Structure 1
């Protein structure tokens, strides 16, 4: 896996978050508040773990948590 700068990763996440919010706003009403809120929360947790992983010296636990949250985010978006 290649090395990316912090600014590059932050910019990619911001672009992804903007697109995700556009898609989430087009959800049906019955899914807009439950599933879309879980997707948003999970997306922000992934971002939080990304930042934490960039700043910590020992990254093993943070990367494990990031992997779990990323997989949950993938599952939620597949449900949508």
Structure 2
């Protein structure tokens, strides 16, 4: 179950549990950088490695993060109306 706050569609959604492995890695990487720069860990861990601590924190829902709404794609156009690519 994902803990989140309901917000209007144009607002970022605050979550505590990642909904995918990809998002877990992104959030944990950002948190790991914070720990490396001197931020205090939010839990006691057997590990002293910032990456491992960050993964544990995120997995336990201790690191809030925002999910931004999708943006409209920008479609480039050419002067003659033909898109090459």
TM-score range, shorter chain: 0.3 to 0.5
More helix by share: 1
| TM-score of the pair, normalised by structure 1 | 0.33
More strand by share: 2
Larger radius of gyration: 2
**Comparing both chains, which one has the higher relative contact order based on Cα–Cα distances under 8 Å and sequence gaps of 6 or more?**
2
